[in-house]
Structure 1
Amino acid sequence: DEAPERQDSGDGQPTTVQVETLTARLHEPGLMLQGQLEPWSSVMLSAQVPGRVESLAVSLGEQVQQGQKPLTIADEGRSAAVLRWQSQVRKLEADLVAARRLRANNLASESQILSLESELAAAEAELTGARQAISHLTPEAPFDGIINSISVDIGDLVQVGSPLFQLVRVDRLKATAQIPQQSVGNVAPGQSVRVDLLDGSRLSGVVTFVASAASPETRSFAVEIAVENPDRKRVAG
C-alpha cells in the first residue's frame, strides 16, 4: 500500500506549536472567619489608697513606658507614719536585745521576751503597710501602652477602688473569632494568618490559641490570633 499523501497547509509555511509545561501543586483551601480586634493588653488602674489627686503627669492618648507614674495622690501624713514606725521598730529591736541579755542572766522572764517579740512583729507589719501606702500614692504603668481614658482630675478625692486611668497596648492586637466544628481541625497554634481590615488594609498575625472544647451554644471553637500593629492603627474594637 502507498502512504497517504501529506496535506499541504496551503501557504507552504510550517505550523507553529506552543508548548506549556504544567506543574501540579497541592491546593490549600483558605478559611475565612469574621471576628473582632482587641488591644493586646488593657487595664483600668484603680486607687489603692484614699486621698486627693495631687498631680497628673499624662494626657489622653499619650504613650507611656512600663514603670512610669502617671499621677500622684497626696501624701497626707503617710511619710510621717513610715518614720514613726521605723523608730518604733528600732526601739523594740533594742529592747529585745537587752531583754535577751537579761534573760541569759535570769534577770528577765521568758514571757517578757515573747511579749517583746510579739510587739516587734506587729510594729514591723505596720511599717510594711505604711511603706506600701507610700508606693500606692504613685501608681505605675504595668506595661508600655497608651493612656486611653483618665477618670480623675487634680483635686479629686478618690477612695480605694476608684478608677484612675485606662492603659491599652495596641502595637500588638488580639483577634478573636469562632471556628465552625467541621473546620477546626485545619487550624492550629503557630499558623500564620492574614487579617483584612474594614478600610481595606491588611495585617499579619499568628494563631496563639484554639479552644479544646466547642461552645455549647454555637458548637464552634474559639480562636485567638496575635496581630502585629507596629503603626498603632486605630482598628481595635
Structure 2
Amino acid sequence: MAPVSVAVDPSTAEVVVQNYQAEGQALPDRDTILRARTSGDISEVLIEKGEIVNSGDVIARFVSSENEADIKQATEGLVRAQRELDNAQQLLERGVATTDRLVNARSDLAAAEARLTAVQRAADNLAITAPFGGRLETLDLDVGEYVAAGTEVGRLVDNTPLTVAIQVPQQMLTRIKADQVATVRFITGEVREGVVAFVGTSASAETRTFLAEIKVANEDGAIPAGISAEISIPTGEAKAHFLSPSIVSLNETGALGVKTVSDDNTVKFYPIEVVRAQIDGIWVTGLPNQVDVITVGQGFVNEGETVDPLPEEAAQ
C-alpha cells in the first residue's frame, strides 16, 4: 500500500518575546470622600463640581460668626488668667498670698490656653479643604444649607497617575516582578506604557491569584478611572515556531501538539506550548529548531507511520 501523501512546510525557530497578558481595571491613585468636620450653615461654596483643585484649596466655608465670638471670648479669658497668675506670683513673693492661690492661677491659665486652642481648632474645621490635588467628582453643598458634622459632602479623585489592577495566576508569579515595563491598552483605544509597582505575596482564597498593580502616567488626566484595560508584560524570550492554529491537533493522550515528518519520512508528534498568540497565528515551543511540519493531511496519519511528504506548494 502506497504511503499517504501529506503537505509539509519547513519551519525554523525564531527568538520571540514572551508576554503575560491580562485584563484589568484602571483605578485612581487616590480617591476619598469629603466630610464636614463640624456642624453649621454653609456661608460660601468656592469650587464647583468637576473642577481641578490643589492640596489645601478651600472648597467651602461654614458661617464663622459664632466661632469668631468664641475666639474673642477665649482670648480675653487667657489674658485674664495670665494677669491673675502674674498677680498671684507677685503677692506670693511679697508674702501676702498663699501657694494654693498660685497653683489655682496656673491651673486656670492652662484651662484658658486649652479653651483657646479648642476654638482655634474649631475655626480650622469651618473650612472644607482638599486633602490632596485632584478633580472634584461630586459636591453636594449649597450656600445657606445646614450641614451636620460627619456628613458626606463630596468626592475627590486623583487619577494622575492611574493604577491598573490585575490578577496574576500562581504559575506566573515568579515571572512578574516590580519595576517591569508593561504596555497598557485601554478600552478607549489609548495605549500607554506603565510600570509594575506592586506584586502581592498572598493569594486570593477564592481564585488563588495574586494582585498586581501597574502605575500609568496620566498627567493630562485624559484617561478616566474605572475603565477596562488590557495589559501585556514581557516576561522573557524563547525560541519558537510561528504556525497556523489549524495544524494543531491532539494525540491519543489528549496532549496538544503538531505532527511533523522526520528525515526517514515517518510521522512524529511533538507536544507544544503556545507562548504567544496573534491574529494571524501562534508562536509555539516544543519543536526542534528545524522541522518539517505537516500542514495538509495530518488528520489522516498517525505517529510512526511512513508518509509521502510533498512541499506545501506542490500539494495545492
Identify whether the pair has TM-score above 0.5, normalized to the shorter chain: yes
Where does 1:107-126 land on structure 2 (aligned, <5 Å)? Answer: 107-126=96-115
2:25 to 15, 23, 36: 36
Spell out the pairing of 1:123-134 with structure 2 (5 A cutoff): 123-134=112-123
- State the alpha-carbon separation in 2 of the partners of residues 195 and 106 from structure 1: 82
Alignment of 1:151-162 (within 5 A): 151-162=140-151
Paired position in structure 1 for 2:249: none
Is 1:145 the equivalent of 2:134?
A: yes
2:202 pairs with 1:213: yes
**Residue 150 of structure 2 is aligned to residue 168 of structure 1:** no
Out of 50, 66, 71, the position equivalent to 1:82 is 71
TM-score, normalization by structure 2: 0.64
TM-aligned CA deviation for residue 210 of structure 1: 1.2
Task: Name the structure with the higher strand share.
Answer: 2
Amino acid at match of 1:82: I
Q: How many residues align?
A: 215
Q: Deviations over 1:215-237 (max 9, x none)?
A: 22221111122111123124311
Residue 245 of structure 2 is matched in structure 1 by: none
Superimposed CA distance per residue, residues 158-192 of structure 1 (whole angstroms, 9 cap, x where no aligned partner)? 01101122111123111112111111111122222
Question: Equivalents in 2 of 1:125, 1:158: separation in Å?
Answer: 26
Instruction: Read off the aligned partner of 2:50 and give its amino acid letter.
Output: G
Give SS of 2:142's match.
coil
Which moved further from structure 2: 214-223 or 48-57? 214-223
The residue identity in structure 1 corresponding to 2:150 is G
Secondary structure at 2:192 match in 1: strand
AA matched with 1:129: A
Distance 1:195 1:109 in 2: 78
Give a deviation string over 1:77-112, Cα, whole Å, max 9, x none. Answer: 101111110111111112112212222333222222
Aligned letter for 2:184?
A: V
**Partners in 1 of 2:183 and 2:96 — Cα distance?**
81
The reply on whether 1:96 has 2:104 as its aligned counterpart is no
Letter in 1 for 2:84: D
SS in 1 for 2:77: helix
- Report the alpha carbon displacement of residue 199 of structure 1 after superposing the two structures with TM: 2.0
Structure 1, unpaired ranges of 5+: 1-21
Deviating more after overlay: 226-235 vs 77-86: 226-235
DSSP-derived class of the 1:236 partner: coil
Q: Which amino acid aligns with 2:109?
A: L
Letter in 2 for 1:99: A
Rounded Cα–Cα distance in structure 1 between residues aligned with 2:154 and 2:200: 32
Indicate the residue corresponding to 1:4 in structure 2: none
Q: 1:131, CA displacement in angstroms?
A: 0.7
Alignment-derived partner of residue 105 in structure 1: 94
Listed as ranges, the matches of 1:47-66 within 5 Å are 47-66=36-55
Amino acid in structure 1 at the alignment position of 2:134: G
Letter in 1 for 2:110: A
Question: How large is the Cα RMSD of the aligned pairs?
Answer: 1.9
Deviations 1:122-174, CA, capped at 9 Å, x for gaps = 11111111111111111221222111001221221101101122111123111
| SS of residue paired to 1:70 | strand
| Percent sequence identity over aligned pairs | 29
